Each structure stands twice: as structure tokens, then as C-alpha cells.
Chain A
Amino acid sequence: MATIAREDQITRPTYQEITRDITATLGRPSRGYYVLLGFVLVVLAIGAAALLYQIRFGLGVAGYTPPVMWGVYITTFVFWVGIAHSGTLISAILYLFRSAWRTSVYRTAEAMTVFAVMTAGLFPVIHVGRLWYAYWLFPYPNQRQLWVNFKSPLLWDVFAVSTYFTVSTLFLIVGLVPDLAAVREKATGWRRKLYEITSLGWRGTDQQWRHYTRAYLYLAALAAPLVLSVHSVVSWDFAMSIVPGWHATIFAPYFVAGAIYSGVAMVVTLLVPLRKVFRVQRYITVEHFENLAKLLLLTGLIVGYAYAVEYFMAWYSGSPYERAAFWNRAFGDYWWATWTMILCNGVLPLILFFRKVRQSIPALFVLSLFVNLGMWFERFVIIVVSLSFEYEPYAMGHYTPSWVEWAILAGSFAWFFMWFLLFAKNFPTVSITEVKEIIPMPRKQRAHS
């Protein structure tokens, strides 16, 4: 963490105030917190019950109908991997660009990344039905002397997503260590014990900072290309096949932009209530939201452009199959999904061109919910609608998700929010060290003058 000097970023609290204000977010949870956590656990229990039901009775309870054998589970997998991406963008890529505004929001985004990948990782396993054989995805010596197929994009995904989870978690933990040392000194009881263990003996010595700052820089440098590769690999799950609507070279950048877009929307969704509940408005200001809104606008425009290019290429290719696939998307059985996607992702974010909207936190919150919805539908349209209309007309089919799939989808949101709620009350969601870093240390000369 090299020093980033930008004095006008926040209203200049002292170092002591920063530690005090952020440590205060870790105090005794309110009744509202427990109510929210309880609600999340109930939804999670419903999702878990639906999963157990599917395990007991088999994948037939999902709504799969040939030829649509990838449905809500794969849609949700792609959705959650996408959500993860903006965390790494904010924590690693903006760090490498020395963007000072990220310091107040990156911890929330980074934690979101880890929990979103944890959620995403469940879905390929749920999708394959027999969860207990999930280890078949990894190459391991076995009695049949066979190995996994490294030429398959699905296996690339295994390596990409597991690497992404590992590196994101390491990055989050490394960033937390100096903060936990600061919190350790203020905490009492079991929390003090927790922070004593998790701060790994950190004291902020010159030698520790010497190695830490370099390690953090290299982790950021490794995480930056990783984040671009992960959603590219996810996009190749589709683009490498010859299904009309999937087989496109634009998929990698299209998916990466979409991922960052949905992730930034989720960061906004999380930050709006967080700053109010934890009373950290002094650190997460309207300027932070405006910057996030600009990121939303930029990535939203790229996504909107990609939608247009997809349709243009379908027409320009001269391929009747591509044209039919895209005509079906807009006017076929699933027209409502396509138009929801276009409205939420392509049209509504255009209001971000107005500064008043970018600076209105309630407006951004509502918009972020629409973008989240739209991005889930984008994956639904790409996956389900393309599969339902592939190849020969006699083989086409209609897929309707079953209650089991909807329950597991709801459970995935509960799983994600459960981890986030537990994290937010036990670990600093605003980085103490990095917020301090953008405020120059007091100088004797200045104080005396």
C-alpha cells in the first residue's frame, strides 16, 4: 500500500477518529441486525430444504426440458461470478491506478467478491446433481487411470474460479491484517481474542511494512489480470460451442464488462444501507457514490453496445440460424426476459448521464436493484433462450424453472447475505489503514505554523 496523497477526499478526520468510528461499527449488534440475520437464515433454510429435496428425488425435480439442460443453476452461477468481479476491480485494478476514492469502499467490495465466489461455486455442483462426486472435477490419481479433459472450457472454469476464490480470499485477508491490529487494541472480551489471533502479531514495524507493501502490490498485480481472465473463461463455456447466440468472439469482453457492471451495482446495493446503519457517512460520501455511478455508466454503455453488436452481427453474418436465434430472443417465447434485460441494463442506466441522478443515493440504490435484476436476466437470455432454440425445429423446447430452482436461487441470495452480515459485524467493512493513508500524517512544521 504505497501512500496515496489526496487531501480533499474526505472531511479530514484524525487518525484517532478513523479508528474510533470504524471500530464502532463492530459493537454489539442491534435488534434489527438479528431480525435481518434471522430472515436471511429462514430463506437459506428454505433453499437448503429445496436442495435436499432435489438430492433425494434427483435432478428431475428441476425444470430441465430437452434441449434446455442448463437453466437457473448455470444462469445463477454466471450471475454470482459476475457479481464478484467489481470487488477485484475496485480493490486491485483501481489500487494499481492509485485511485484514492477506492479506499473507503474497497473492503466491502472485496468481501463481496469472496462471498459471491463462494455462492457461485455452489451452482455447478448443484447443477450436476450428484454433489458427492464434485471432486471428479479436479484431476486426481484414480483406479481407472483417467484424467480430466483439459481441452474443455468447463475444466478451465474449475481452475479459473478456484484460483479466483483463493487469490481473492488471500487479498482480503492480507488487507485486513493491519486493520485487525488497530481494532485489537480497542476490543474487549472474545473479540479481542479473535483480533489477537487474526491480526497475526501485526505491530506495523518498519520491516513488516517493508514486506507488506510489496506483497500487497504484487497481489494486486496478479489479481488484475486474473479478474479479466475469469469471466473470459466463463464466457468461453458458451462461446466455444456452436450454439447460435453463443458462438461469438465478442463474448469475453462482453462478459467481463457485464460482470463489472453487475458487481458495481451490487456494491451500491450493499453500501447504501451499510453507510447508514454503521453511520460511516463521513467516510463513504456522495462523491464515492458518484464515482461508482460513473463506473456503472461506463460498463453499462459497453454492455448496451455489446447487445447492439450481437444483433448487428446476427443480421450482418447472413446466417439464417443466427438471425432466427436473435429474432427469437426479441419476439419468441421469452421476449419478456429479453426486454427486461434491455430495459434494466441498456436503457435505465442512461439516466446516469444526469449528475443529479449520480449524486442521489436513493436513485442509485433503486437503479442498482434494476441492474442486478437485468443482469440475472441477461444470463438467463443467453443460456436458456439460446438452448431452447438451437438447431432443428423438432428438437426445440420450452423451459420453465421449477419451484425447487427458484427456492435454491433465493437460498443463494440468503447464503451470500448471511456471510456478508456476519463479516460486517465482526470485521471492519471500511479499511482503517487505507482511509488513514489518504490523509497525510501530521507534521510538526505545519502544526507550529
Chain B
Amino acid sequence: MSTMTGGVLASYRFVDAASGAIRTLKAEGIRDFTVYTPVPNVEIAQAVGHRVSPVRLWTLLGGLLGCASGFALTLWMSFDWPLVVGGKPIGSVIPYVVIAFELTILFGAGATILGLIFHSWRNRQMGAYEGRFTDDHIGIFVRCPTERRAEVEALLRAAGAEEVRVES
């Protein structure tokens, strides 16, 4: 997370203009920027060039933990209170698959949410924002020191920004 909050905010109506602006920024060596879009967009995502989200690892680990917990819970409780029911073995693995399956899903989903919250918080992007970025505009906020703002502003305008303003 960047601590610098001042910079230049540009808004775009067209997706190709916005993705072009992102590529230009990167070509100029400017990487400290935030892109706001009303919907997820492949073209923008490719221009920004993030790696795949690590949330998938949380899902996997949560699912595995849930599965292990399901079997551990059922087997431990069965042997802790060993009562024969329906002539089945005390530790009947097959019926316990159902519990393990449900806990796999439950823990997997829970871990996915935790991963989403954790990574969204860890990579939170502070800076200027406008309400229309959740409606129909694409926003690009470039964090930069005062001396570079004129250069960035010109660059964003040249890429087809509808509106550009400097935020201190």
C-alpha cells in the first residue's frame, strides 16, 4: 500500500482509451497507480498485468483443513464415546465422508472470504476517487510527487481522458 495520497486523477469513458493510458503509464515507468472500473474487464486487467490472485491458495488450504477436520471430528468423537450403532464399526469412515465433504465446502468458502478480505486490505489503494467509477466511467489515479504531476496529467490527457484533475 502506498502512503502517498496526492497525484493525478483521470476519468475515461472508453475502455480502449483507459487501457492505452495504463500501457503508456507503464511504458513511462509509472507503476504506482489505481484503476477504478464499474465492472471487471479483461482488457483493463491485462493492461494492469496483475498476477493471479493468491485467494485460490486460501480456498485450497481451507478445503483441505475442512476435510481433515471432518474426519478428525467424527472419528475422535466416535472413539471418545464408543457406542455400537446399527452394527456398524465405531469408526465408520464411509458415513463420515458426508460430514467431511460438507466441512470441506464450509471451510473452503470461509477461507476464500478471509483470503478476499485479507488481500483486498493488504493491497488497499488509497487516493482520489469519484462515485461515477462504480457507474459508467473508468478512473485512473496516479500517485506521484508534485514535480511530476504536469507530465502525468499531459500523458493521461493525450491518452483520451475525458477529465483530468490534480489532487494534492
Q: Smallest distance from the beta carbon of B63 to chain A beta carbons, Å?
A: 8
B102 touches A (CB below 8 Å)? yes
Q: Smallest distance from the beta carbon of A380 to chain B beta carbons, Å?
A: 26
Of chain B, the residue at the smallest CB distance from A440 is: B15
Using an 8 Å CB-CB cutoff, how does the interface string of A430-449 with B read, 1 for contact, 0 for none?
A: 00010011001111110100
Of chain B, the residue at the smallest CB distance from A201 is: B124
Q: Smallest distance from the beta carbon of A188 to chain B beta carbons, Å?
A: 13
A423 touches B (CB below 8 Å)? no
Residues of A contacting B8 in the complex (Cβ-Cβ under 8 angstroms): none
B48 touches A (CB below 8 Å)? yes
Known: A167-B105, A442-B14. A212 touches B116 (CB 8 A): yes
Within 8 A of A (CB), among B119-157: 119-120, 123-125, 129, 131-136, 138
Residues of A contacting B64 in the complex (Cβ-Cβ under 8 angstroms): none
A369 touches B (CB below 8 Å)? no
Known: A205-B35, A206-B35, A442-B15. A218 touches B135 (CB 8 A): no
Complex contact B81–A215 (CB within 8 A): no
The A interface is mostly helix, strand or loop, or mixed, namely: helix
Complex contact B102–A163 (CB within 8 A): yes
Taken together as a complex, chains A and B put the C-alpha atoms of A225 and B2 apart, in Å, by 40
Taken together as a complex, chains A and B put the C-alpha atoms of A342 and B8 apart, in Å, by 67
Known: A15-B38, A437-B39. A215 touches B136 (CB 8 A): no
Complex contact B105–A226 (CB within 8 A): yes
Within 8 A of A (CB), among B85-100: 85-86, 88, 92, 95-96, 98-99
Known: A146-B81, A211-B55. A218 touches B15 (CB 8 A): no
Complex contact A214–B39 (CB within 8 A): no
Known: A156-B98, A214-B55, A215-B55. A441 touches B41 (CB 8 A): yes
Taken together as a complex, chains A and B put the C-alpha atoms of A209 and B13 apart, in Å, by 19
Q: Smallest distance from the beta carbon of A61 to chain B beta carbons, Å?
A: 32
Residues of A contacting B45 in the complex (Cβ-Cβ under 8 angstroms): 206, 209-210
Complex contact A166–B109 (CB within 8 A): yes
Complex contact B36–A215 (CB within 8 A): no
Interface centre among A145, A174, A218 (most CB of B within 10 A): A218
Which of A15, A171, A213 contacts B135 (CB under 8 A)?
A15
Interface centre among A178, A223, A443 (most CB of B within 10 A): A443
Taken together as a complex, chains A and B put the C-alpha atoms of A206 and B135 apart, in Å, by 15
Taken together as a complex, chains A and B put the C-alpha atoms of A184 and B136 apart, in Å, by 14
The B interface is mostly helix, strand or loop, or mixed, namely: helix
Q: Smallest distance from the beta carbon of B46 to chain A beta carbons, Å?
A: 11
B160 touches A (CB below 8 Å)? yes
B7 touches A (CB below 8 Å)? no
Complex contact B56–A218 (CB within 8 A): yes
Complex contact A436–B38 (CB within 8 A): yes
Of chain B, the residue at the smallest CB distance from A169 is: B109
Residues of B contacting A440 in the complex (Cβ-Cβ under 8 angstroms): 15
Within 8 A of B (CB), among A326-361: none
Complex contact B38–A150 (CB within 8 A): no
Complex contact A206–B48 (CB within 8 A): yes
Complex contact B109–A178 (CB within 8 A): no
Complex contact B73–A229 (CB within 8 A): no
Complex contact A222–B134 (CB within 8 A): no
Taken together as a complex, chains A and B put the C-alpha atoms of A226 and B105 apart, in Å, by 7
Residues of B contacting A218 in the complex (Cβ-Cβ under 8 angstroms): 55-56, 59, 108, 112
Interface centre among A171, A182, A204 (most CB of B within 10 A): A204
Taken together as a complex, chains A and B put the C-alpha atoms of A14 and B13 apart, in Å, by 12
A248 touches B (CB below 8 Å)? no
Residues of B contacting A163 in the complex (Cβ-Cβ under 8 angstroms): 102-103, 105-106
Which of B44, B77, B88 contacts A206 (CB under 8 A)?
B44
A149 touches B (CB below 8 Å)? yes
Of chain B, the residue at the smallest CB distance from A159 is: B102
B74 touches A (CB below 8 Å)? yes
A116 touches B (CB below 8 Å)? no
Complex contact B95–A150 (CB within 8 A): yes
Residues of A contacting B55 in the complex (Cβ-Cβ under 8 angstroms): 211, 214-215, 218
Using an 8 Å CB-CB cutoff, how does the interface string of A188-229 with B read, 1 for contact, 0 for none?
A: 000000000000001111111111111100110011011001
Interface centre among B34, B41, B131, B134 (most CB of A within 10 A): B134
Known: A185-B134, A203-B133, A205-B125. A433 touches B102 (CB 8 A): no
Known: A207-B50, A218-B108. A149 touches B16 (CB 8 A): no
B17 touches A (CB below 8 Å)? yes
Complex contact A211–B115 (CB within 8 A): yes
Please list 15 pairs of residues, one from A and one from B, whose beta carbons are closer than 8 Å in the complex, sorted by A's number: A19-B136, A145-B80, A151-B86, A167-B109, A170-B109, A184-B131, A204-B39, A206-B36, A207-B123, A211-B55, A212-B40, A212-B116, A215-B53, A215-B115, A226-B105
Interface residues of B (CB under 8 A from A): 13-17, 34-45, 48, 50, 52-53, 55-56, 59, 63, 73-74, 77-78, 80-81, 85-86, 88, 92, 95-96, 98-99, 101-103, 105-106, 108-110, 112-113, 115-116, 119-120, 123-125, 129, 131-136, 138, 160
6 smallest beta-carbon distances between A and B, as pairs: A185-B131, A15-B136, A147-B77, A444-B14, A441-B15, A214-B53
